[in-house]
Amino acid sequence: MKITAVIVAGGKGTRMGADKNKVFLKIFGREVLYYTISAFEKNDKIDDIIVVTGKNDIEECQILVDKYDIKKVSYITEGGATRQESVMNGLKKAEGDVVLIHDGARALVTDDEINNSVADCIKFGAAAVGVKCKDTLKSADSDGFIAGTVDREKTFMIQTPQVFYLDKILDMHKKALDENFVATDDCMIAEHYGVKIKISDGSYDNIKLTTPEDMIIGERILRKRGITE
């Protein structure tokens, strides 16, 4: 069984206050994207990696791959106008059986999260890493007043990787494009077409590095793992 990781690494770094793609910002002297790719490069289950990024960032991605002697990256391909289009471009380059779709800015993903989600996809047909919400959640009415309390025990924050059989998720992406169905993540597309998705055990450390505060938290998590350079 061939397993491919599609890493979506577009972004302008606006919320980060950066003048470049946030995945090229550094922690302990290494790019965010380095940590993300390395997690899949070092994982025994992953056969190859496809990086999807903006047209102007393709060269810098290639420089990064060469600099760190990364072997599993088979393609660096151009993204689209939206994340959904970018994922579609990555899926078109993929070959094999199972695909993990992962945010390039989730640099703190672990072996356990990758392995658990792959195993759950193989067993149940589709999987996504997630963690239970810690906060009390409220629904609101149209005027901004609390309308009710959401059952926290049934509410999860879904992260990435999100894992599917390649032929099925590619077909669903094509259908969504034809029907102009817009989704915020790949699970939403699968849900739309009636797919049941297993929630795999995740970690609160698997954050998306989006703001300067996130970079500080990311540094602390890496330091806790013994990574300081």
Residue 144: Cβ within 10 Å count: 7
Residue 85: Cβ within 10 Å count: 15
How large is the average pLDDT for residues 8-14?
74
How large is the average pLDDT for residues 44-71?
96
53 in Cβ contact with 79 (< 8 Å): yes
Residue 185: its pLDDT value, please? 96
Residue 228: its pLDDT value, please? 85
Whether the per-residue pLDDT at 198 is higher than 70: the answer is: yes
Would you report the helix, strand and coil content of the chain in percent, each value rounded to 5? 40, 25, 35
Give bridge partners of residue 146 from the DSSP assignment: 140
Whether the per-residue pLDDT at 10 is higher than 90: the answer is: no
How large is the average pLDDT for residues 185-203?
97
Residue 229: its pLDDT value, please? 75
- What is the spatial distance between Cα 72 and Cα 42, in angstroms, rounded to a whole number? 9
Q: Tally DSSP H helices, then E strands, for the chain.
A: 7, 11
Whether the per-residue pLDDT at 17 is higher than 70: the answer is: no
- What is the spatial distance between Cα 180 and Cα 189, in angstroms, rounded to a whole number? 11
* DSSP letter string, 59-106: HHHHHHHHHTT--SEEEEEE--SSHHHHHHHHHHH--SSEEEEEETT-
Whether the per-residue pLDDT at 173 is higher than 80: the answer is: yes
Burial 127-138 (b: 16+ CB within 10 A, else e): bbbbbeeeeeee
